[in-house]
Structure 1
Amino acid sequence: MDVVAKAVEECARAAKRAAPSLATASEQAIDAALGAMAERLVSQREVVLEANRADVAKAREEGMSAGLLDRLTITEERLAGMAEQLRILAGAPHQERSLDVSTLDGGLKLVERRRPVGVIGANYEARPNVTVDIASQLVKSRNGGVLRTGSAALGSAQRLLEAVVSPALTEAGIDADVIQLVPRVEREAAAALVSLPDLVPLVILRGSGDSTRALAREAALHGVGTLAHADGGGVLYVDAGANAEKVRTLVSDSLDRLGVCNRLNLLLIHADVHDAVWPLVTSALDERGVKPSLAPHDHAIGYEWALDSDREATVTVAKVENLAEAVAIANDQTSGLAAGIATEDASAAEAFFDGYTGTGVFWNAPTRLLDGFKLLAVPETGINLDRTPGPRGPVTYTDLYLRQYAVLPA
């Protein structure tokens, strides 16, 4: 075994050894740990921010794009937001660990028990806040974790683990080894993480495009399950019944950050109203410093601009003849993350909702709302786009369990 794979396996074994400490912890201890993480984020903020400044400076010297630098950066405001999310998670209700389902013949009853997975892996890139997001979700769901991030964010992630997560777990009487951070920057570490089904049977994959899809395929070869978030890009369809001022607001609100998956990526405008709304659309784009990519396009219509460091300040714009064409494009030529309709026609909105098969669908609302905290008031581990039964959309602590059926005397 090479040194990188060995390091990942050692982390996995340490988390598995410590997992029972979390699985058997009281709800009060778990919430105390989360609350302590929030307090330590504040009390140790300068330590965290110093490590993050070093990561950002190095990344800037190496030519990282503005969008990726934005993801990498922890500001005072963002750190305060992270702490507030932890406090809210600490106060969120725990999942019922046992639910009565039905009575059976012979004086028996059926109960559904919810059990932790055990140890869950997570691979993510230059987003240090995800370290806290995922660690906290795993703790709340009683799962151990093995986290792996790229070289750009590793310094920040290590400081978050050492100064915030681990001490908070220890203070609450939980074995701090239950959350591990892989100390290697090599890409091979990600492949190693998805190849340990007996230790880490489920891995959360958050990343960009091809690399994340490749990891999901590698995981499948080893019998490791994944919750993958490889692609994004929000769609907005401007219907013939749209209010032009609302369209302007939706376009602007959907582009407040360009390096995120749920931003406006593709704008489809009904031909009948194109000329009427276009001046307001261009005004909103200009306000955000975003350029339209107009027909004829030299790229796939669903191309995700957030992943393009040279052209991320771009939105694809296309005319469509009707709602059915817009739905077909959103379903067949985009990632299926999220799509919205701008219209005052309720029947059109209903038809759009019925036709679109993606993860999130919106009526006169921005796709930026497809986010665990904005929708569900708790942080997310990622957004799962699977087209199969299971957790879909923002995945939170409420999804990270195994179902077990138990039959016992009534």
Structure 2
Amino acid sequence: MLDITSATVASCAQAAHDAAPALAAASDEAVDGALAAMAGYLVSARPAILEANAADVAAGEKSGMSAGLLDRLRLTEERLGSMADALRLLASAPHANRSVDLGPLQDGLRLVERRRPVGVIGANYEARPNVTVDVASQLIKSRNAGVLRTGSAALGSATELVRSVVGPALSSVDLDPAAIQLVPSAERAAASALVSLPALVPLVILRGSGDSTRALALEAARHGVRTLAHADGGGVLYLDAEASLDTGVDVIRRSLDRLGVCNRLNLLLIHSSIYEAALPRVAAALSELDIRASLPPHDHAIGYEWALDSDHEATVTVLPVDSAAAAARIANEETSGLAACIVTESSATADEFMAAYTGTGVFWNAPTRLLDGFKMLGVPETGINIDKVPGPRGPVTYPDLCLRQYAVRPA
């Protein structure tokens, strides 16, 4: 079975590799036309997509999938409409500048920086059918071919989306539909195979639970494949001594509209001087949302990510702290570094917290749920990168999916 799975992934990679040059050379009009067509097919193919998704959801319910995971998996007419709107916005978004003149060099030469597609980019992601469209659209906009791999829970939905939306949209503008491949196997070995083909798929986007994603990143490194890994999340909210509790409760509510996402509220820090007074209102707000507060003393790590715990995802860790500096230190050292928010009426304290926090996104009186490509940048994302190295950090979108090339030519 392992050999068959590896061969299947390699076949997909080769097909995408063969189609990549034509996509790289496509005009802006063709690329944007494909994205607009994807939006149209999401509407016209809606019955088939919802039928395939209903089968996936029914299988998930039968297998005992948690409510949060089922929410990630489920497509509705409203969600399909939002996906179509996002595609139309992406189609109208400006293309990244493919050539930038950096100025003259000595001896009558001139330096130009070019941005080139990677070629083929892989993506391994969890049971979220919308990610199939998000990633495919970002790859097309950046003129990269792709090999997508999702787990068994969402494979039926993903297959229908590629068959009824992505492929026909590419064909409608005379681009090769083979440029976006979906691995048809639900075998876990397919993920390992995807990160072992450096000559065909030199970069793979990894999304999913922390342990499995870290294991795949390690496997990729062994094969010389680069990764953009989104392994960990968990938003932090700090209620300062000078916080408005009305604002704090509002931000808490807006931070927990969905539980199975990485940027939801995970750790709530409350200044010790207001902890006893604020806790009843905080607990009441959480209770209204059917969220359990994990109070001290904790029998788990402070930064434990509840979104990855299908049995206890409706939980928020609560902890008193003595200062904004202490809150920032805990957010830096005890959590993934995805995002943190301070609720305060003091601009000086907000500035202190925002300067001290080193994570990917920092917010003042606003929920960490805003750390999202569509919400912040107006385009879908391939994931949120929290690596502490140069390169794309935060929501990764189409301008990030390129390679720099320096060209020297006569002036």
Q: Normalising to structure 1: TM-score of the pair?
A: 0.99
Partner of 1:37: 38
AA at the equivalent of 1:14? A
Partner of 2:90: 89
Paired residue total = 410
Partner of 2:204: 203
1:8 to 2:16 alignment? no
The structural deviation recorded for 1:409 is 1.4
The structural deviation recorded for 1:21 is 1.4
Partner of 2:375: 374
The structural deviation recorded for 1:37 is 0.3
Work out the CA distance in 2 between the residues paired with 1:310 and 1:97: 47
Deviations 1:250-283 (Å, cap 9, x if unpaired)?
A: 1111011111110000000000111222222122
Work out the CA distance in 1 between the residues paired with 2:290 and 2:238: 21
Partner of 2:407: 406
The structural deviation recorded for 1:207 is 0.3
Alignment map for 1:149-188 (pairs within 5 Å): 149-188=150-189
Partner of 2:340: 339
1:112 to 2:113 alignment? yes
AA at the equivalent of 1:350? D
Work out the CA distance in 1 between the residues paired with 2:277 and 2:251: 16
Work out the CA distance in 2 between the residues paired with 1:101 and 1:287: 56
Work out the CA distance in 2 between the residues paired with 1:330 and 1:3: 44
Partner of 1:192: 193
Partner of 1:148: 149
Q: Secondary structure at the match of 2:395?
A: strand
Partner of 1:135: 136
Work out the CA distance in 1 between the residues paired with 2:348 and 2:49: 51
Q: Secondary structure at the match of 1:390?
A: coil
Alignment gaps of 5+ in structure 2: none
Q: Is the 8 A contact 1:195 1:222 kept in 2?
A: yes
Work out the CA distance in 2 between the residues paired with 1:100 and 1:191: 40
Work out the CA distance in 1 between the residues paired with 2:262 and 2:126: 14
Alignment map for 1:231-242 (pairs within 5 Å): 231-242=232-243
Partner of 1:310: 311
Partner of 2:28: 27
Partner of 1:266: 267
Partner of 1:65: 66
Q: Secondary structure at the match of 1:180?
A: strand
Q: How well do the aligned residues superpose, as a CA RMSD in angstroms?
A: 0.7
Partner of 1:254: 255
Partner of 2:125: 124
The structural deviation recorded for 1:170 is 0.4
AA at the equivalent of 2:50? L
AA at the equivalent of 1:402? L
Work out the CA distance in 2 between the residues paired with 1:237 and 1:66: 27
- Identity over the aligned pairs, expressed in percent? 68
Partner of 2:244: 243
Q: Is the 8 A contact 1:245 1:280 kept in 2?
A: no
Partner of 1:275: 276
Displaced runs of 4 or more, over 3 A: none
Alignment gaps of 5+ in structure 1: none
AA at the equivalent of 2:347? A
The structural deviation recorded for 1:290 is 0.4
AA at the equivalent of 1:404? Q
Query: Bigger CA drift: 1-10 or 249-258?
Result: 1-10
1:325 to 2:320 alignment? no
